[in-house]
Structure 1
Amino acid sequence: MATSSEKDLQSDAKNFCESLANVFMMKKRDPQTQHLLQKSKSLIEALLQDKRTKSERPSIPPKPSRGGGSMGQLWVKLDEMKRENDELKKQLQTKSHDDKTSPGKSPGPGDVIVSELHKSKNENTSLKTQLEKALTNVKELEKVNATLQDEFKRTKIAHDVTQKSLEKVKQDHRSLESSLSTVQTENDSLKMRLTHSVKPMKRADNRYVENINEKCRPSNIAVLYNNLESQEWMDAKEALEDAGFEDEEAVTQFLCEMLMLTYTISSELLTDIENGLSGLLKDPCKLLESSYLNCSKEKSILPEEFVQGMKDILRQNAEGIDTEPLVNKCQELIRQDSTWEQFEGILNHKSINRYSDRCARLTWQMVVQQTPMYLSTIDECFDDDVHKLWWSCDKSKAKMIKYFVWPALYDSKNGNLLVKGCVNAC
């Protein structure tokens, strides 16, 4: 029985070595597997050698049992071999467990295969998750694509409708242009008939009869006067405030004074022209004196028809005059007046210059009318029909005028009011 047990043990050891050899062949002879195979062989040989040594020791013959015979000896021997076999298995298992759990040793081929299997499973699981996410994204993109296609169809339909509407609008526009051209032709024809039907008076008064073909006429000047207040005057006021002039009363009075000065200068210039021409008609040789027009102060005795024709020419050229001499004259008078010395340094500001230019051009157009238009700042009592209050004033308490913010415009002196004056009253 002992010999059969040893043969079985040897057969198991050989089978184990062959299994390791097969693993070694599958792993392409890597050093780790070769090391494990050699170690396993040496361990098995050491166990076999230990078994041989124990079998060579002299054994004490067992005492024959009285009634058991040779069968009792065989059973005792079998029990010993079983115990030895169990001890060898335990030693082999303990040795294999130590080899696996020792930190300094490399993992066996089975562990490598298992770890690679787990790694492949994890990668497979990760790839499956990514695939599911990709499929979900594809479905979402398909939904978005379907929505965009629907939007595109609706947009295309709206575009087609808009194109049709645009074509219709263009046709209506062309029709309106044709109608407008026809109306303009009829209007021009009526203007010509009206102009020819009005017989000129001996002394035409443009307050009652305006030539609608003339740009420089009182109604247009009244519109420009309102624009001057809402645009250039406002820009000049903001420029003064930005420059540090915080006294609103002084600022508004200064701008009003500039307008009145240019009006006075324009009126005096027209008077000088009439007086100078009158003197030249009396004595044409005076034109040779370079300073004649500057010092001519004689009262004009020109015929009314001559003055009327002269003003017609002046009105025709009113928009193209060079206003710089008028602006310079106005600034010169301001510098000479100590009341406005605080504003002397800002007279050349861009907004102030533009305001001065517009004042000069507009007041010149006022004075060259057949009956000169009139700017007034002489009222003392507040009149709601003639004046409008400055924003900071209380209308219920307004009685006396403190100062003018904006002059009142009349079609002539003591004539009809065209634009209300703006005042500060208390």
Structure 2
Amino acid sequence: MVTLEERLKAELERQKTDLEKSWKKELDKLKEELETKHKEYKKELEKRDNTIQDLSSKLAKKEEEIRLESSSSQQAEGSKEMQERLNEVKNEKDQTNEELKQKTIELERITIQLEEEKRKHSAELEELKKKYNEEKEIHEKAITEKTEELEKLASQLEDEKRKTIDNKGVHEDGNLKKIKELEKSIEELKTENKELQEDFEKRIQLKKQPKPTRASDDVSALKEENESLKNRLSQLAGAKLTEGNPNIADLSDKNRPINLAEKFSELYDNEWTDALEELMDSEKKSEEEGIDILFHIVKDAYEFCSKQSTTLYKSMTKGIKDLGLLDEKMWPQGLSKQIKDHRKSISVLVSNNLSKEFLKSQKHTVGKATSKYAEACAALCWFMCVQDPPVYMDPSVPKGNFDTDKYRAYTKTGKDYKYLVWPPLYLHKEGPMLGKGIAQGK
């Protein structure tokens, strides 16, 4: 079995090996880069040397030509053509000397650059070696410390082991005594558990025995009556709590106020926009005239549906009032709420017919998009008016300064109102706002 000391030593040795491999890899890489650059510079120098040799041979050739020309010129002194040729050769010699001079300067510059690069890389190499030696020293120090700590722990383990062996004989009698006491307690618990089990079975047998029939029937009847009374009380309490209370919403109702407010906003974004375009394009109305027509349609739709909602409620309660219960305060608790709920459930069935009736009641003929807008207004206002209490739409033209808490600007802002575009919506009359209206500022 591998001891803790051996594992720690192996881990420290592995870290040391990894560190040496890492630094060796870095040094080899840097050495390889330096050798590559050295070969490149050496190749460049050889190329420059060849160039210089070529230029030197050219120069020697030119000098030989000059010498021959000079000799020829002495033999044919006074020849004008020979003199011109001599001048050309001299010029070529001067040009060749200039090129040789430039190449020599460039070669010296490259040599200096190579020496500079060599010094730079040598410094980097020395820095890496120094860093490697420092890191190596740190890790060797850490390895030494860990080794000393390991030896100390091993010594402590040996001491504890010896103490345990020495104390074994002392504690053996005490442990044996404790084991016997525990075995005795286990036997006592087994006996107690058996007695409890027998008592439990006796109780079950007693419960299975039939009780007197009359008492059993009386208890069952009383329980059923109690449950029935609880259900009735719960229904009455629920009806009393929710009747006329808009703050308690029926989450199963798709046409609850918050949903109606969203649909009212979508009506303005979609059907209202299409209808306005139709009025301006087909009927050649100005934008303000078209807005006024559409505003009066939604206003008339709400008034029409409010009257229909009241009429339906009156017709549903007529039979009760004909029997003499004219005052609704005298009605049984929750009856008014039940009638309003029935009205709401019927409203879904009659909304299409009611929308068509409203469209027929309009005095002037309208186009296809405007008809669709009018029917949508009627259907939505109908669901608003059958709520308890009704969702309130405020069609009154505002006065005073432009109230940004109640209205959004249509296309222009200003301190005053120019005309109303879309009415605001409230949970009920004088209740919290569900949706802002839209008005043109000036």
- TM-score bucket of the superposed structures, by smaller chain: 0.3 to 0.5
User: TM-score of the superposition, structure 1-length normalised?
Assistant: 0.43
Give the number of the structure whose residues are more often helix, by fraction: 2
User: TM-score of the superposition, structure 2-length normalised?
Assistant: 0.42
Name which one, 1 or 2, has greater alpha-carbon Rg. 1
